[in-house]
Structure 1
């Protein structure tokens, strides 16, 4: 028997989801490279506390060494992507080496409980026809970015917040798992997105653009 209280709870949940969707005039892709690291737990806690979801582009070597953190990423509602095994300049490597970098990372992330990635970010954003051919072999969509937070280059927390403020619907921002300044920027990034009616979405494997979470 379905009670009035149960129906009320369902109605409240549906209304809440509808209200959240109505509040999103667009979606952006928050991405964090080079994890998991010792900073990952704090980053995940801040993202969750601020109602944000993100795509974590993990290095295979770190996924293999820290499988619990890969599982924590998934448990926190994040999506996990492939960022190569050792972060080399792939455009300077042989096809066999590129294949090894990508395939070993697919295996390491899956073995750690992160699922089989569908998204790939080449280290340094460097790509060419050979890299793209190997990506295609593993069914991976290449994801670069439209906004660079410059956190890898020592950008201040204020500068990282300002960079996120330039995001428009569908765009992706590059950030890094290990950056203390990026961690400090998370609450303000969340506030800025909310103020502009934008929500943190997933990156579509079809288009490489940010879309509503599935």
Structure 2
């Protein structure tokens, strides 16, 4: 009696495994989220995300969260921290952020003499430049406190004073939800105050990016010409 040889299933199983792996790989590629900065065609307006008081030990995590969510921002650095963390200043620029002047020691400027104000601003310009951050064009007075002397001194260094339209209150212990809601109030051209160090601010960034995209808004640069948020390449 002739016995018909059993067919080997190994080639079939191998083929199925290869096909399954290929399909899985395709799905993985197709569903990987894109963190690229939105094209101008997708932007109906721009807002200015700003982060004060860096650079610090928190800066690397903040920069990672910003880039992963396709966001750019203006970092208002303190001079003493820029001098102590020059590599983080360079990292800010390398991540596509803009660097501004936030004084050297974060004082109440309106209580200082003109010479003291000058020192706070000039030393910060130098510290940022030494760290690879270029020459800042934007200046934010600590606490938003300013007067004619402060503005004139800043202007003498080619700096445009920038305050804010919305305060996220992250410096005051605001929750992640509250920070997201504050950003949701931004409209075209407006600027929000946030800070380099709060963990809740970093946690809010994915939802901030999602909200802005849903409203056709993109994170832009702050124009030194008018102090408003604009398209990143609209100002030389």
- Tell me whether the two structures share a fold, i.e. TM-score over 0.5: yes
In the alignment, what sits opposite 1:170?
189
Report the counterpart of residue 30 of structure 1 in structure 2. Answer: 49
2:110 to 62, 69, 91: 91
Match of 2:70 among 51, 54, 60: 51
1:122 corresponds in structure 2 to 141
Q: Which portions of structure 1, spanning 4 or more consecutive aligned residues, are displaced by more than 4 angstroms?
A: none
Show the counterpart of 2:30.
Answer: none
Structure 2: unaligned runs, 5 residues or longer: 1-35
Local SS of the residue matching 1:113: coil
1:195 paired with 2:209, answer no
CA RMSD of aligned residues (A): 1.0
CA distance in 1: counterparts of 2:40 and 2:155, whole angstroms: 33
5+ residue gaps, structure 1, are 1-16
| Larger RCO: 1 or 2 (CA < 8 Å, sep 6+) | 1
- Matching of residues 1-214 of structure 1 within 5 Å: 20-214=39-233
Give the structure with higher Rg (CA).
Answer: 2
How many equivalent pairs are there?
Answer: 197
Q: How far, CA to CA, are the matches of 1:52 and 1:85 in structure 2? A: 27
Offset at 1:31? 0.1
